[in-house]
């Protein structure tokens, strides 16, 4: 794609060429026409400049909308564009990750520590998914990864990813405990709504993992009672 500055330089170059060509025709009438054409084109240059500046600003806004400022990962919109292309190319696996200890980190150590955890998680996910995959931050402490499906065992891949995300994050001399509930699903078709379907399945798998307790362990009896009470209160509301 031609850069806006190059387009502007090209317009100025053509303006100069046409002005000299018209002026060289000779005769008062032709010289007058040349001056009029030159003036008309000169008047258009500021308009062109403004249009090109608007295009640059729009491109910057689109980039910002597709890139999360805290983690550097793709936003939901940016990741969705990538994942749709990947699904169209062939079988795809999606992993949804929800951090287990994030609220405790924020409450105990502050939002700067929380941002450090988010950034570390993003770096781990980007490294794990490799050059053909793509990671994104959906919002809050929820992340998503899409990679080509190559026949691997999903349970094994989920366990691998959960182990990577369970490593403590170093922050100002402290090791912040963190973990993640991970769900995965795969698609082998490139149908129109394949991505939304696979996201729904991965989301359900993630919440099943979260229901089994932190980092995939089955909750203790008190935790189960707490979850049951919350559900009863929700239903009664």
Question: Which residue numbers are catalytic?
Answer: 141
The runs of H, that is alpha helices, within the chain are 4-23, 28-65, 76-89, 102-109, 111-129, 154-165, 194-211, 221-236
Cα distance between residue 195 and residue 188, in whole Å:
11
Q: Burial letters for 165-194: b for 16+ Cβ neighbours within 10 Å, e otherwise?
A: bbeebebeeeebebbbbbbbbbbeeeeeeb
| Phi, psi of 26, rounded to the nearest 5 degrees | 85, 160
Q: Which of 218, 122, 235, 219 is nearest to 169 (CA)?
A: 122
- Please state the length of the chain: 237
Cα dist. 152→78, 132, 158 in Å?
26, 15, 11
Cα 100 to chain centroid, rounded: 21
Which DSSP symbol is given to 216? G
What 3-state DSSP class applies to 179? coil
């Amino acid at each position: 794609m031609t850069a806006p500055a190059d387009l502007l330089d090209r317009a100025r170059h053509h303006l100069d060429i046409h002005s000299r060509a018209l002026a060289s025709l000779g005769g008062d009438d032709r010289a007058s026409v040349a001056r009029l054409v030159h003036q008309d084109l000169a008047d258009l240059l500021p308009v062109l400049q403004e249009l090109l500046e608007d295009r640059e600003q729009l491109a910057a806004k689109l980039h910002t909308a597709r890139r999360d400022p805290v983690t550097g990962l793709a936003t939901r919109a940016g990741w969705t564009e990538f994942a749709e292309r990947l699904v169209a190319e062939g079988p795809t696996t999606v992993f949804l990750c929800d951090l287990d200890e994030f609220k405790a980190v924020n409450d105990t150590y502050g939002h700067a520590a929380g941002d450090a955890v988010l950034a570390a998680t993003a770096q781990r996910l980007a490294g794990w998914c490799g050059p053909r995959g793509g990671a994104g931050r959906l919002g809050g402490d929820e992340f998503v990864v899409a990679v080509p499906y190559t026949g691997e065992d999903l349970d094994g891949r989920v366990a691998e990813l959960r182990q990577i995300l369970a490593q403590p994050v170093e922050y100002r001399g402290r090791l912040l405990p963190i973990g993640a509930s991970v769900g995965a699903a795969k698609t082998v078709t490139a149908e129109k709504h394949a991505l939304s379907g696979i996201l729904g399945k991965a989301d359900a798998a993630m919440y099943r993992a979260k229901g089994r307790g932190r980092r995939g362990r089955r909750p203790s009896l008190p935790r189960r009672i707490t979850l049951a009470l919350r559900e009863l209160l929700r239903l009664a509301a």
